[in-house]
A and B are shown apart, each in its own frame.
Chain A
């Protein structure tokens, strides 16, 4: 039965940012996201209205997924930020907060949208050029021969999520594990066809974080009764052959197609499949395969036969394990059991053993030589902490891969952002006239927009404070310094502060500080001649990834630009 309804005309309205609801929505979204920003942010409890599982998190990916908005403009903002997160995994919250700040602050200055957009693009290019230049003092060259910078990079990612509830020692330990696992995946022989290996993360809830470990090879979870059975299996010494199937060997007729099968009574399609399977089983036994692995289910009769022939069988591995198994064993995944298996499809493994972790048991497959596949077994006491830790580890691994491509870092803890705004304020005072003519704006307008831009960035940086503390910026390096609640404003800051937020610079007599949120003009001695960061890095400092931060900045500004330029919104209803 079809339904006939009259066509509702599309809805069109202009100047979306003039709409109170849209502005309110953007403001609410910003408040939610900024309360999660940084290692001392608050957590959100996400759950379905029907009840059920509660997710405790401050991850941008989870937040962006769960916050439901109806207005297309805000939806588009969220999509844009989500795209950045899916490509780079990190700095999602920074992008979202900065974008919202730029939109809100730009709306308040009385300049036409297109002019603001042109000036902001110019400012963005200025920032990118500075960050890419050799003179930027926030850029750190990451040296792969020392672990200090790499560990700081990983540690900054790990400690950015408070749900994990890690102590300092535990955070250090997990960082070292992640780095170890990553270095494991870098192949030791560089040949023609080389690629990074894989780290699979396996979780075990209820154990302490310090029980986490890295295993070379793969871990497959098995049940307790199965582990008791295989303990009695006959083991061959030395490497053994492995066959890997990615097709369902459960004996069902795959893809029976559309239409009806007409079958004579007495014959059974499934029996025919089983005959084929048994033929394959006989070949596997003849070829002296030690372990048969299958992505899907293996028929119990075939399993029984293989067990009797001393062939170990593991099925129901899932699609995620097929690729790492291929990389680890050198086996080619077999997609059909209708024909005989060619000999070059088999792979090799060194040995296996059973590993017990709390209430879970795993089958550990040990590769023959230095294979670039390893498993990271993560433990945490609570489920919420474990889930967050898993995501955080994946983010850290992603960041390390990006660092391989571009071994640069930017100082973390808000220092780069504070430094950047100092630079922009300084440079915006001396923009050449022909540049202004190209942008089609006056010097005063340029200064206003630059001020908005800098205040947006400063506001984003000061969002790292959640407990009433204050962010200060110093006069020489332009870094961020954090002071706690209840420090009266008139105190001599040099008595109170000891290091900047990233840990690089200590306080000394000649430094002067101002409040980050209040500064409009800053007297800066060192900005005239920006110098690169040299000297010995401290043991612990905060480091963000360069490509991630750069892209985050770009996405935030470009998204804000698009939204500021929007003239009309046309919404179809059916």
Chain B
């Protein structure tokens, strides 16, 4: 029981903090892109999100693996919020290291930190804003406020970039800064009556009728969606369009009564077109894909016709068998006579397939796997379009929209397997012309019912396409979560600041920390002992370090906006707000057009919880056990691995 500081430190936590530090510049809406280069293979990737960063880094070692796993799991579920997660992991690792330096026992750190986080989350329950209230707010308040709290006066005195003083938190929350300026919609051809083709007639009539009701939602809804975009304005605009297209169709087809139904993201796909300018990006109903070779000729023949579609599960080759089927390998085929000309199995299959296609007048085949090249050639000769490697959700969309049944073998095709009601044409960009993409052509297949909604993303820079795609999905999911939960948090650091103020109150209130005599708590580590003064001291120290995590988060996010000269300026601003106990206040300055910023509820809270869980898990791990064998090249005898300890 010495009083000296612990000399050795927790290596696991240090590794975690070091790995997480790589994502510092990704925090906030102004992100710095990162180039990741492989020294050996010279491959490179560019990214501005945490999950892509970790995906591309070769993380060997268990800590890196655990971090990667946590971030990828979060991304898989929510598709947004990974940069915050990564940052908080690093910040809280440092906080726990500080706790260890103060000789605080590990179970105390674990229980007090978890409790502190739960406490802070509970306190935020009341801060959630209901979407309906927000829409009303946006609708009613049409005035443009000249002095917007939370915005800095740019271009003014560089030394003191302070927020406008005297702005109370309540004022900032309820003030709607929706300015009512003319919103320039990034229009798809659905909103321009002149360009409506024949196949969209059904849809356009409905547009005329319900356009008035849509417009009412339009402006307020747009403001809400943009507030969730966090700087990705173009991506969010595309998202808004995709959603509007979907609810238009839903209103017509199903007469949905709710004003803002859920966003069915299963029906959304992206089509990445490199080499085109970014403003060509748009939203279209139907499935858009790239074709090459001689297929565009087929498209020309088929455009305007009412199509018959079949959908194939698996590969379209003569050898393909459904999974779980093993061919008999020890077989010998004997022919009794040589009368019939010997045809290979493949030829027979090809002829059979073409016959079936002719019989049922099949025009388009969508295949989940690959199709054999011979079949593709024959299909082109017969004016049948074959599209390979179609995603599951697209195929499912066509199943529902055309009434086709998903089949595995050609021989299964019957009348009821063929879908109808589809049309195809060359995809036209916004100005009505098909873009010149050299050898490749984009074709669009749409149906009377919506099978899928494709968002076409274009960029002249190839490597940026992935980034744009990620940003789109991020916006799509943010809107989806907001609509399904019906609640959002005020953003721009408001929740973090609120948690800081709450923790400060907790620490200062001695009553909350008073040891309860006779409290029998069989679950504590030293369940026999009563709580002592030492426990009170520990608790306040640990909560202080927990708060440091959020403080660093706010400081980094504020500094990343470029509005502060040094991080210390940002930190002093945070400290000032905490001292004045401002509560829910949008502290991170807003550099984009949106006036207010909002966050999703579950995404934010889950990223906090996951970050802390990971840190506490690594804290409690002390030994790494390596299994497996490594062959020793000099003696060719297998040797077993030794164990490595850390801590």
Q: Which of B58-66, B194-202, B452-460, B473-481 contacts A (4 or more CB under 8 A)?
A: B58-66
A501 to B521, CA, bound (A): 10
Contact check, A482 vs B527: say whether CB atoms are below 8 A apart: yes
Residues of A within 8 A of B609 (CB): 381
Given contacts A269-B331, A503-B522, contact A165 B616 (CB under 8 A): yes
Residues of B within 8 A of A265 (CB): 333-336
Q: Which of A1-9, A181-189, A280-288, A298-306 contacts B (4 or more CB under 8 A)?
A: A298-306
Contact check, A541 vs B522: say whether CB atoms are below 8 A apart: yes
In the complex formed, the residue of B with least CB distance to A479 is B528
A70 to B322, CA, bound (A): 46
In the complex formed, the residue of B with least CB distance to A469 is B526
**B: interface residue count bin:** 35 or more
Does chain B have a CB within 8 A of A385?
yes
The minimal Cβ–Cβ distance linking B105 to chain A, given in whole angstroms, is: 4
A359 to B266, CA, bound (A): 12
Interface residues in B93-111 by Cβ distance below 8 A to A read: 105-107, 110
Residues of B within 8 A of A528 (CB): none
**A: interface residue count bin:** 35 or more
In the complex formed, the residue of A with least CB distance to B639 is A70
Out of A168, A228, A250, name the residue touching B396 (CB < 8 Å). Answer: A228
Residues of A within 8 A of B519 (CB): 498
Given contacts A40-B107, A264-B334, A484-B105, contact A47 B622 (CB under 8 A): no
In the complex formed, the residue of A with least CB distance to B59 is A51
Contact check, B610 vs A248: say whether CB atoms are below 8 A apart: no
Contact check, B393 vs A225: say whether CB atoms are below 8 A apart: yes
Does chain A have a CB within 8 A of B624?
yes
Does chain A have a CB within 8 A of B211?
no
Does chain B have a CB within 8 A of A35?
yes
The minimal Cβ–Cβ distance linking B601 to chain A, given in whole angstroms, is: 14
Given contacts A45-B62, A297-B322, A498-B530, contact A382 B614 (CB under 8 A): yes
1/0 contact trace for B310-337 toward A, CB 8 Å? 0001000000001111111111111110
Q: Which of B69-77, B485-493, B506-514 contacts A (4 or more CB under 8 A)?
A: B69-77
Q: Which of A121-129, A252-260, A335-343, A446-454 contacts B (4 or more CB under 8 A)?
A: A252-260
The minimal Cβ–Cβ distance linking A538 to chain B, given in whole angstroms, is: 7
Given contacts A44-B625, A252-B327, A382-B610, contact A485 B1 (CB under 8 A): yes
Interface residues in A62-95 by Cβ distance below 8 A to B read: 63, 66-68, 70
Out of B331, B335, B610, B617, name the residue touching A260 (CB < 8 Å). Answer: B331
Residues of B within 8 A of A466 (CB): 106-107
Residues of B within 8 A of A162 (CB): 110, 620
Out of A51, A270, A496, name the residue touching B65 (CB < 8 Å). Answer: A51
Does chain A have a CB within 8 A of B578?
no
Interface residues in B395-413 by Cβ distance below 8 A to A read: 395-396, 399-400, 405, 407-409, 411-412
Contact check, A384 vs B617: say whether CB atoms are below 8 A apart: yes
The minimal Cβ–Cβ distance linking B344 to chain A, given in whole angstroms, is: 12
Contact check, A261 vs B400: say whether CB atoms are below 8 A apart: no
Does chain A have a CB within 8 A of B534?
yes
The minimal Cβ–Cβ distance linking A112 to chain B, given in whole angstroms, is: 34
A481 to B333, CA, bound (A): 81
Residues of B within 8 A of A45 (CB): 62-63, 66, 621, 623-625
Does chain A have a CB within 8 A of B166?
no
Residues of A within 8 A of B255 (CB): none
Residues of B within 8 A of A53 (CB): 65
Out of A168, A300, A482, A499, name the residue touching B322 (CB < 8 Å). Answer: A300
The minimal Cβ–Cβ distance linking A56 to chain B, given in whole angstroms, is: 6
Residues of A within 8 A of B635 (CB): none
Does chain B have a CB within 8 A of A468?
yes
A499 to B519, CA, bound (A): 10
Out of B69, B334, B392, name the residue touching A225 (CB < 8 Å). Answer: B392
A163 to B618, CA, bound (A): 10
Contact check, B613 vs A256: say whether CB atoms are below 8 A apart: no
Given contacts A32-B623, A44-B624, A48-B626, contact A252 B73 (CB under 8 A): no
Does chain A have a CB within 8 A of B641?
yes
Contact check, B625 vs A46: say whether CB atoms are below 8 A apart: yes
Residues of A within 8 A of B333 (CB): 263-265
Does chain A have a CB within 8 A of B627?
yes
A98 to B336, CA, bound (A): 77
Does chain A have a CB within 8 A of B9?
no
Out of A223, A382, A498, name the residue touching B617 (CB < 8 Å). Answer: A382
A413 to B523, CA, bound (A): 10
In the complex formed, the residue of B with least CB distance to A472 is B528
Out of B1, B336, B412, name the residue touching A304 (CB < 8 Å). Answer: B412
The minimal Cβ–Cβ distance linking B542 to chain A, given in whole angstroms, is: 14
Out of B76, B331, B528, name the residue touching A497 (CB < 8 Å). Answer: B528
Residues of A within 8 A of B610 (CB): 381-382
The minimal Cβ–Cβ distance linking A131 to chain B, given in whole angstroms, is: 23
Residues of A within 8 A of B336 (CB): 264-265
1/0 contact trace for A347-359 toward B, CB 8 Å? 0000000000011
A256 to B620, CA, bound (A): 54
1/0 contact trace for A25-48 toward B, CB 8 Å? 000100010010001101111111
A569 to B643, CA, bound (A): 25
Contact check, B326 vs A483: say whether CB atoms are below 8 A apart: no
A540 to B521, CA, bound (A): 9
Does chain A have a CB within 8 A of B373?
no
A237 to B324, CA, bound (A): 33
Interface residues in B584-637 by Cβ distance below 8 A to A read: 606, 609-610, 613-614, 616-617, 620-630
A68 to B639, CA, bound (A): 11
Interface residues in A94-118 by Cβ distance below 8 A to B read: none
In the complex formed, the residue of B with least CB distance to A497 is B528
30 A-B pairs (CB sep. < 8 Å) = A42-B620, A42-B621, A43-B617, A44-B622, A45-B62, A46-B627, A48-B627, A49-B630, A51-B65, A56-B617, A162-B620, A167-B118, A205-B73, A250-B322, A251-B325, A263-B331, A263-B334, A300-B409, A304-B405, A304-B412, A307-B405, A381-B610, A467-B105, A468-B1, A482-B529, A483-B528, A486-B534, A487-B529, A503-B527, A540-B520
A498-B520, A499-B527, A503-B527 known; 13 other A-B pairs, CB under 8 Å?
Answer: A32-B643, A45-B623, A47-B626, A70-B640, A159-B523, A223-B392, A262-B332, A264-B335, A304-B405, A307-B405, A382-B610, A469-B525, A482-B527
Interface residues of B (CB under 8 A from A): 1, 60, 62-63, 65-66, 69-70, 73, 76-77, 105-107, 110, 114, 118, 266, 313, 322-336, 392-393, 395-396, 399-400, 405, 407-409, 411-412, 416, 518-520, 522-523, 525-530, 532, 534, 606, 609-610, 613-614, 616-617, 620-630, 640-641, 643
